[in-house]
Amino acid sequence: MINRTGISSINRNSRNSGKFNLGSPNNSVIGRVTDIILNENHPEFKNLGEFNSIGTVFFEVVDSTNTGTQKYAKPAYPGFKSFPIIGELILCFSAAVPITDSTLSNKKEFYYTNTLNLWNSPHHNISPSPRININSPLDNITYQQSEAGLSRNPSLSENSFDLNSPTNPTQNIFLERSNIHPIMPFVGDIIYEGRFGQSLRLGSTSPSKGEYENKWSSVGTDGDPITILRNGQPANSSNTGYIPITENINSDLSSIYLTSYQKLNNFNAASKELYNSYTVKPISPSQYTNPQILLNSDRIVINAKKDSILLSSQKSIGLSTIGSVNIDAKEHYISSNDIKLGSIRATQPVLLGDDTIEVIKQLAGAVKDLASILQVQQDWPNGELKTSFNVIAGNVIEQIDNANGILSQLNNGSLKSRTTKVQ
């Protein structure tokens, strides 16, 4: 069982197994990745420090004298992980190893930085070993195409090169895709991209006059900041993955836009911007030019695990949908001086339901009692019943009985109610 943690784990497990001889490197080298440790099932996991070995790569030095010589290197940065895949080139440099005892040592090990940008592709930048007989990505393009930029195509022929660990099949999960496009930069941008169509742009209002349109710079002052977090390119992205694209707020799978003074005029609201409950409609998200945060995805879930979800606004909170608004709760509370239901033009006041029904019942009872007396009223001294009284009283009693039935239905909530303005 693996249970070693902390400094003691490093002391006991950081020593070289002897299989990979580092020698005494003094200079940086370019290495081609041949394998990587990503979980505990790798055969060198225990030998190189157990969980301290995660991210360690095995590589061959890329030069004419050391071809085939296997070495290993650890990630250079502890807080930032961008692990290479098999076949990518990395910059490796030697540095001191962790101190395992009180004796100072001149022993050094290799560490590596990020993948070298051979193809300018966020998906992968592999450079297969010349000892492997495969078709190069450049084999099928002309000199003119290369000059035009097609040399950036990272795609290999199908089944030509394995991008996964040759010794640990449990981590063989990387599949090459031809439709992963890099993000087109604009002046001053800082961009972080994942291998699978994710990106974070720290950009600004910067009108573009080139072929690639900047969708957020039609208004505002040059340099106004904008942050775009995007997860997933459009599902119908082309297979020319080496050609850059810009973010598309409508077709990207999920995205968050943090604006300052830009206008996202290409945004299409799912509700078609129905604001009929407003007397003065709010500015639509696509036309708003002050700071706003826009979240867009097929579904959005906000969940508070232990406490409340609090929505606060200085002006209004608008709910707009082409479907229904559903509220499920144990209790509903609404505190307001003016409630309008059914229409913003509602004018009739809302009655207190229980009190109103009780008053109507009392009134109905009194009328029914009066009608019952009139129904048997006799004309003295002859003692004959007044026919007119009898007929009228009978009709009143029947109407009262019908009204009582309706009141019972209202009390049970079986009838729909329509409410208007509260006085």
Tens digits of residue pLDDT in 276-326: 889 899 999 999 999 999 999 999 999 999 999 999 999 999 999 999 999
Residue recorded with tokens 């090169």: 161
Query: What pLDDT is recorded for position 15?
Result: 41
| Token digits of residue 326 | 């559903």
| Token digits of residue 306 | 């232990």
Planar angle of CA 341, 343, 344, nearest 5 degrees? 100
Q: pLDDT tier at 41 (50, 70, 90 boundaries)?
A: very high
> Do residues 204 and 117 touch, judged by C-beta distance below 8 A?
no
Residue recorded with tokens 């300018």: 120
Query: What pLDDT is recorded for position 406?
Result: 65
Q: Which of 1-5, 164-168, 185-189, 377-381 has the highest mean pLDDT?
A: 185-189
pTM for the model: 0.75
Of all residues in the chain, the percent with pLDDT exceeding 70 is: 72
| Token digits of residue 87 | 């076949």
How far apart are the C-alpha atoms of 54 and 83, rounded to whole Å? 10
Which tens digits make up the pLDDT trace of 320-363? 999 999 999 999 898 888 888 888 888 777 776 777 777 677 77
User: Which residue in 266, 300, 304 sits closest to 286, CA to CA?
Assistant: 266
User: Which residue in 349, 355, 358 sits closest to 418, CA to CA?
Assistant: 349
Query: What pLDDT is recorded for position 134?
Result: 44
Residue 75: cis peptide before it, omega within 30 degrees of 0: no
334 by Cβ neighbours in 10 Å (0-12 / 13-18 / 19+) ranks as exposed
**Alpha helices for 33-173 (secondary structure H):** 143-148
Report residue 162 CA to chain centroid gap.
Answer: 31
How far is CA 211 from each of CA 66, 91, 162, 164, 388, rounded to the nearest angstrom?
A: 45, 34, 36, 37, 93
Q: Cβ neighbours of residue 256 under 8 Å, at least 6 residues apart?
A: 228, 229, 230, 293, 294, 295, 296
Residue 150 has pLDDT above 60, yes or no: no
**What integer best gives the mean pLDDT of the chain?**
79
Residue recorded with tokens 């157990």: 50
Query: What pLDDT is recorded for position 335?
Result: 87
3-state secondary structure of 222: coil
Residue recorded with tokens 């300052």: 260
> Do residues 170 and 40 touch, judged by C-beta distance below 8 A?
no
How far apart are the C-alpha atoms of 45 and 9, rounded to whole Å? 13
> Do residues 406 and 363 touch, judged by C-beta distance below 8 A?
no
Residue 75 has pLDDT above 90, yes or no: yes
Residue 139 has pLDDT above 80, yes or no: no
